[in-house]
Amino acid sequence: MFLATLLACACRAPAELPDAGEPADAGGDAGEPADAGSDAGVDAPVDAGPLTVTFLTPDGGAVTTLIYSLPFHVRVDGVLPGASVQLVSRLQNLQASSTYVAGSDHAIDTARDAPSAGSYTGVDPEGPIWSLLPGSNGSIGNSFDVQVEASDGVRTATARLARPGMGTGTTRVNVASGEVRGTFWKQTAAGQRPAVLVLGGSECDLGATSFIAAWITTLGYHALAVDYCDAQGFIRRIPLERLEAALDWLAARPEVDATRLGVYGASRGGELALQLAAIDARPQAVVAVVPSGYRWGDTKAGDDVAWTLADAGLPAVPDSPSAMPATETLPDGGLGYRFTPMFLQLLAAADPRSLALATIPVGAAHARLLLVGAEDDALWPSCRLVADAWATLTDAGHTGDEQLCLPNAGHLLGPPGWSSAEGYAAWDPSLGASMVFGGTPEGRGRADRALDTAWRQFFRRVLGEP
């Protein structure tokens, strides 16, 4: 019962955000220069210069508009060396506050300076964002915009970064062609570009999958999010030919460079991405996030296979009624189920022959692979599953691949740029308890950016620039 319930869970996107791809409401003051605030008439400290807040990209360029999920950091200038500056960041109804000590250059910079006190610790360019919590000062609007207020105790300066939604600069095309059902995020810029097939996890429909596809488009690639569920919405006897048909559809598009195809899959979609790479030579690059190098059973009842090829079921790791999840008491006092121990029990109980049959032959992949696990994945042991897949690759002499195990991260990994306060656990009505995903707020926030950086660099290395 537990395995079927778990494998059928609809794992949501890492944050409840405004609709992906819709331009955000920039607000009345978005993109305006930093405002000296109501204290502008107060005398500034001698030699400090005007107090200003600037948003910078990693290459040092100042921006007032930046698509959601793209990285930035905050710099405050005009502060006497050794003086304290308080930064208050706001996003919708969320707020974070930290204090910094200015350097000899009359500035504080979140890419360089750790706060001396506040909502996060250590040097982290986007600590003021992932450490956001529900605030008490109302909302700054229903958009992705970030507002930062800096104060040195005498003067206040405020700036706002407008963040259009992911998918900006694309056209969404609904796809219903034979076995292919999905949404194609087409770049409006001319010329052939790489394209990525995006596979959701247990939520094999277009819910979170389309959200991730919009994220992929921020690299300048086209993206096709597909619904690969069966007629009842489960992963049960799904023909791999259905996903090959999606690659056919992509390759036939005139705006797609068919020699530069990628696949991105997470959780059960990561398992599927590895399985697809093992049988189809067309993808050049495959990103598998919290995946499994083994096949598991269906998500309906757990008594059938998840995948078929040429109408034959592909073997899965055997289920066992004795394998049980661990329980824990959540911070709010509720009951939580941690399923990783159950998967480890199933792997330990499987006989070598069954485990070998359930192993995805990733060594046969033509594509280069990026495998990303989460150290505190409470849903299944993704770092262990990545390590086992890596061993299969190594044994086969496969080269050009990369693997990561992200520290203090949980199962839910996705676009950065939002609060990571939530995501440890979520209520599951079928369990009558919460399903634990794992990670710490700090670990989840930093892991999302690490994943973002990793897949961008990997796709650029293998598929090239748009």
Q: What is the CATH number of the domain that holds 194?
A: 3.40.50.1820
Q: What is the pLDDT of residue 31?
A: 41
pLDDT over 90 (residue 443) = yes
Q: Are residues 142 and 198 in the same domain?
A: no
Instruction: Identify whether 38 is part of a domain.
Output: no
pLDDT over 60 (residue 43) = no
Q: Residue 10: which pLDDT band, with cuts at 50, 70 and 90?
A: very low
Which residue is listed with tokens 């009505």? 429
CB distance 337 to 325 below 8 Å: yes
307-309 sheet: strands from edge to edge: 238-239, 307-309, 312-313
Q: What is the pLDDT of residue 400?
A: 97
For residue 148, the one-letter residue type is V
pLDDT over 60 (residue 33) = no
Q: What is the pLDDT of residue 2?
A: 55
> What CATH number did the domain enclosing 121 receive?
2.60.40.2240
Last residue of a domain, one of 161, 192, 211: 161
Instruction: Identify whether 12 is part of a domain.
Output: no
Instruction: Identify whether 16 is part of a domain.
Output: no
Q: Residue 49: which pLDDT band, with cuts at 50, 70 and 90?
A: confident
Q: Are residues 354 and 241 in the same domain?
A: yes
Output the average pLDDT for the chain.
91
Instruction: Identify whether 19 is part of a domain.
Output: no
Q: Residue 3: which pLDDT band, with cuts at 50, 70 and 90?
A: low
Q: Are residues 142 and 202 in the same domain?
A: no
Residues 192-199: what's their mean pLDDT? 98
Q: Are residues 289 and 419 in the same domain?
A: yes
Comparing 12-21, 144-153, 273-282, which segment has the lowest mean pLDDT?
Answer: 12-21
Q: What is the pLDDT of residue 136?
A: 79
Q: Are residues 371 and 442 in the same domain?
A: yes
pLDDT over 60 (residue 12) = no
Instruction: Identify whether 284 is part of a domain.
Output: yes
Q: Are residues 89 and 220 in the same domain?
A: no
Instruction: Identify whether 41 is part of a domain.
Output: no
Q: Which two tokens stand for residue 412?
A: 């839910």
Q: Are residues 154 and 171 in the same domain?
A: no
Last residue of a domain, one of 126, 161, 196: 161
What is the Cα–Cα distance from 423 to 414, expressed in whole angstroms? 11
Q: What is the pLDDT of residue 14?
A: 41
Residues 413-428: what's their mean pLDDT? 96
Q: What is the pLDDT of residue 45?
A: 55
For residue 286, the one-letter residue type is V
Give Cα 253 distance to the centre of its chain.
27
Instruction: Identify whether 253 is part of a domain.
Output: yes
What is the Cα–Cα distance from 174 to 210, expressed in whole angstroms? 11
Residues 158-170: what's their mean pLDDT? 97
Instruction: Identify whether 10 is part of a domain.
Output: no
Q: How does DSSP classify residue 388?
A: H
Predicted structure pTM score: 0.91
Q: Are residues 93 and 182 in the same domain?
A: no
Q: What is the pLDDT of residue 137?
A: 82
Residues 99-120: what's their mean pLDDT? 97
DSSP, collapsed to helix, strand or coil, labels residue 394 as: helix
CB distance 415 to 163 below 8 Å: no
Q: Residue 46: which pLDDT band, with cuts at 50, 70 and 90?
A: low
Rounded to 10 deg, the angle between the 240-252 and 268-279 helix axes is: 70
The residue range of the domain holding 179 is: 166-463
pLDDT over 80 (residue 16) = no
Last residue of a domain, one of 128, 161, 194: 161
Largest CA distance in the chain: 78
Q: Residue 138: which pLDDT band, with cuts at 50, 70 and 90?
A: confident
Q: Are residues 150 and 240 in the same domain?
A: no
pLDDT over 60 (residue 238) = yes
Q: Residue 415: which pLDDT band, with cuts at 50, 70 and 90?
A: very high
Which tens digits make up the pLDDT trace of 254-299?
Answer: 999 999 999 999 999 999 999 999 999 999 999 999 999 999 999 9
Q: Are residues 335 and 407 in the same domain?
A: yes
Q: Which two tokens stand for residue 429?
A: 């009505």
Q: Which two tokens stand for residue 261?
A: 């195809």
Q: Are residues 276 and 182 in the same domain?
A: yes
Q: What is the pLDDT of residue 32?
A: 41
Q: Residue 40: which pLDDT band, with cuts at 50, 70 and 90?
A: very low
Q: Which residues, at least 6 apart from 399, have a Cβ–Cβ distance to it below 8 Å?
A: none
Q: What percent of the chain has pLDDT over 70?
A: 90
Q: What is the pLDDT of residue 36?
A: 43
Which residue is listed with tokens 């399903």? 435
What is the Cα–Cα distance from 45 to 27, expressed in whole angstroms? 32
Q: Residue 17: which pLDDT band, with cuts at 50, 70 and 90?
A: very low
* Cα–Cα distance list, 131 to 74, 93, 125, 261, 358 (Å): 14, 13, 12, 36, 40
Structurally, the chain folds into a number of domains equal to 2
Q: Are residues 118 and 179 in the same domain?
A: no
Which tens digits make up the pLDDT trace of 361-396?
Answer: 999 999 999 999 999 999 999 999 999 999 999 999
Comparing 35-49, 311-325, 447-461, which segment has the lowest mean pLDDT?
Answer: 35-49
Helix (H) / strand (E) element for 426: namely strand 425-428
Which tens digits make up the pLDDT trace of 212-222?
Answer: 999 999 999 99
N-term to C-term CA, the chain? 46
- 91 bridge partner residues: 94
